[in-house]
C-alpha cells in the first residue's frame, strides 16, 4: 500500500531545471452587457471523440444544453464595448475518484461555496478550467447540471478537462461534454480583449487545433487563453517558494523515470501532469501573438510564472483534493479562485484563498 501511495503521489511528477525564465512565483497569501463572437472558424473536432464516440447521451442532458451550454452562456453574457470589466477563474472541482484522494479534500462543498463567493464579487463572467466531474458519466453530469441550474447566475463558461471525458485516463470520448456544453475550442470578445478556450484534455494539442488557434489569435485585441492541462515547457521552471525567493529543488530519479513516458495508455495518462504534443508550438504561438495570460488547471494547486511577457497561471484549487505533489511541482496547495480586472492597461489578478487573506499578483515582467 505504501508503494502504491508513493506512485500515486508521483502521478504528475516533472523535472525542475531552470530554463532562464524570469519573474517566477507560485504565490504568497502575503449598464452595458459584454460582447462575444461565435467561433470563427468552427472549432475543430480533432480529438479521440471522433473515433471513440460510444457514450449514449440521455435526453434530459442533451436538453440541458439550451440552459447551460456554451452558446447559451454567451447569449446570457450579451454584448458590450466597455473597456474595463472583470471576470472570475475557478479551477478543478471534481471530488476525487477514489476514497484515498478524498482524504485530501479541502472540505465539503468547497466548489459551491467558492462559486457563491465569486458570483457575489459580480464579475461579468466566470471561467471554469475543467474537471467539473470526477468521471464523465451521465449521473455525474446530471448532478453537475442540477448544481448549475440551482446556483449559477453569472454567465459560466468552461473548457473540457480529462475527467469530463468518458474516462479520466486513456482512450475516451467526449460525447457527453459535446452534447451538454459543446464546442471545445471557441473564442469570444469583450471590450478590447479576446478570450480563447482550448481543449487539451487528451494531454495534447493537435496541429489542427494549433492552426485554428493561430486564426483565433489573429486580432489586434489583447488575448487570454484558458485550457485544462498545462504545456510541458512549464514543467522545467523552478518555482518560487514565495514571491522573490527562489526555491532550489533536487531532481529525483524516480520522477524522471515516470516522466520518461515508458508507460502506455491509461497508466501514462495518469502519470502525466503536462501535455507534450504541441507544447513547443503552443509556446511559440502564444509568445508571438500578444497573449497576456494563459490560465490552466489539472494540477490541484496554485502556481504562476512570466515567460516572454506572458503570464501563466495554474489555478486548480476549485475544490478538488489537494494531494501533495512531488519535487519540481507547485507547492502552494490551497483551494482558491481568481478575480481578474481587465482594462486597456492590462490585467490585475487577485487570488482568493478559501481560507486566508486575498492577495494581488505582481504585474507581468517582460
Is 281 inside any structural domain? yes
What's the mean pLDDT in 315-329? Answer: 89
Q: Where are the alpha helices (DSSP H) in 247-305?
A: 253-259, 265-270, 279-288
Residue 205: CB atoms within 10 Å = 26
* 152 closest CA partner among 123, 184, 119: 119
* Residue 337 within a domain: yes
Task: Name every residue whose Cβ is closer than 8 Å to that of residue 260 and which is 6 or more positions away in sequence.
Answer: none
SS3 of 127, please?
strand
346 part of a folded domain? yes
The enclosing domain of 34 has a CATH number of 3.60.21.10
Lowest mean pLDDT among 175-184, 246-255, 316-325, 333-342: 246-255
Question: Which domain, by its residues, includes 32?
Answer: 2-360
Which of the four pLDDT bands, split at 50, 70 and 90, describes residue 361?
Answer: very high
Please determine, for residue 258, whether its predicted confidence score (pLDDT) is greater than 60. Answer: no
pLDDT at 322 over 50: yes
Instruction: Identify whether 271 is part of a domain.
Output: yes
> Could you tell me if residue 366 is inside a domain?
no
Q: Is the bond leading into 41 cis (omega within 30 degrees of zero)?
A: yes
Q: Which CB contacts under 8 angstroms, 24+ apart, belong to 27-32?
A: 27/243, 27/302, 27/303, 27/304, 27/332, 27/351, 27/359, 27/361, 28/242, 28/243, 28/359, 29/334, 29/351, 29/353, 29/356, 29/357, 29/358, 29/359, 30/242, 30/243, 30/359, 32/80, 32/81, 32/82
In a domain, 38, yes or no: yes
pLDDT at 100: 80
| Backbone angles phi and psi of 205, in degrees to 5 | -125, 125
Determine, yes or no, domain membership for 201.
yes
Number of structural domains, the chain?
1
Indicate whether 365 belongs to any domain.
no
Prediction pTM value? 0.82
pLDDT tens per residue, range 187-225: 999 999 999 999 999 999 999 999 999 999 999 999 999
For residue 317, what are the CA distances in angstroms to 33, 206, 353? 29, 27, 9
Proportion of the chain in helix, strand, coil states, percent, rounded to 5: 30, 20, 50
Query: Which cell numbers hold the place of 271?
Result: 502519470
**Residues 2-56: tens digit of each pLDDT:** 444 444 444 433 333 333 343 334 333 333 333 344 444 444 333 333 444 557 8
Amino acid at each position: 500500500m505504501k508503494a502504491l501511495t508513493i506512485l500515486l503521489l508521483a502521478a504528475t511528477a516533472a523535472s525542475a531545471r531552470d530554463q532562464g525564465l524570469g519573474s517566477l512565483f507560485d504565490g504568497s497569501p502575503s449598464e452595458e452587457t459584454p460582447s462575444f463572437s461565435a467561433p470563427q472558424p468552427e472549432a475543430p473536432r480533432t480529438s479521440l471523440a471522433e473515433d471513440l464516440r460510444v457514450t449514449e447521451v440521455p435526453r434530459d442532458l442533451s436538453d440541458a444544453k439550451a440552459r447551460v451550454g456554451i452558446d447559451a452562456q454567451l447569449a446570457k453574457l450579451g454584448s458590450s464595448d466597455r473597456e474595463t470589466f472583470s471576470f472570475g477563474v475557478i479551477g478543478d472541482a471534481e471530488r476525487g475518484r477514489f476514497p484515498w484522494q478524498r482524504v485530501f479534500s479541502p472540505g465539503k462543498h468547497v466548489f459551491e461555496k467558492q462559486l457563491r463567493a465569486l458570483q457575489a464579487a459580480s464579475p461579468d463572467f466566470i471561467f471554469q478550467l475543467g474537471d467539473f466531474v470526477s468521471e464523465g458519466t451521465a449521473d455525474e453530469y446530471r448532478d453537475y447540471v442540477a448544481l448549475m441550474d440551482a446556483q449559477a447566475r453569472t454567465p459560466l463558461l468552461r473548457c473540457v478537462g480529462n475527467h469530463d471525458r468518458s474516462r479520466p485516463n486513456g482512450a475516451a470520448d467526449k460525447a457527453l461534454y459535446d452534447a451538454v456544453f459543446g464546442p471545445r475550442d471557441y473564442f469570444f470578445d469583450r471590450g478590447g480583449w479576446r478570450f480563447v478556450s482550448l481543449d487539451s484534455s487528451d494531454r495534447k494539442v493537435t496541429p489542427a487545433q494549433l492552426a485554428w488557434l493561430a486564426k483565433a489569435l489573429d486580432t489586434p485585441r489583447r488575448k487570454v487563453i484558458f485550457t485544462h492541462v498545462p504545456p510541458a515547457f512549464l514543467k522545467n521552471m523552478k518555482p518560487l517558494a514565495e514571491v522573490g525567493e527562489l526555491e532550489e529543488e533536487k531532481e529525483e530519479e524516480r520522477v524522471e523515470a515516470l516522466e520518461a513516458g515508458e508507460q502506455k495508455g491509461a497508466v501514462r495518462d495518469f502519470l502525466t501532469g503536462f501535455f507534450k504534443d504541441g507544447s513547443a508550438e503552443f509556446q511559440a504561438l502564444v509568445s508571438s501573438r500578444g497573449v497576456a495570460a494563459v490560465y490552466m488547471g489539472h494540477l490541484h494547486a496554485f502556481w504562476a510564472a512570466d515567460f516572454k511577457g506572458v503570464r501563466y497561471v495554474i489555478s486548480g484549487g476549485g475544490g478538488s483534493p489537494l494531494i501533495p505533489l512531488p519535487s519540481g511541482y507547485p507547492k502552494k496547495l490551497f483551494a482558491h479562485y481568481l478575480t481578474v480586472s481587465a482594462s486597456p492597461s492590462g490585467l490585475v489578478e487577485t487570488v482568493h484563498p478559501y481560507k486566508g487573506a486575498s492577495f494581488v499578483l505582481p504585474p507581468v515582467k517582460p
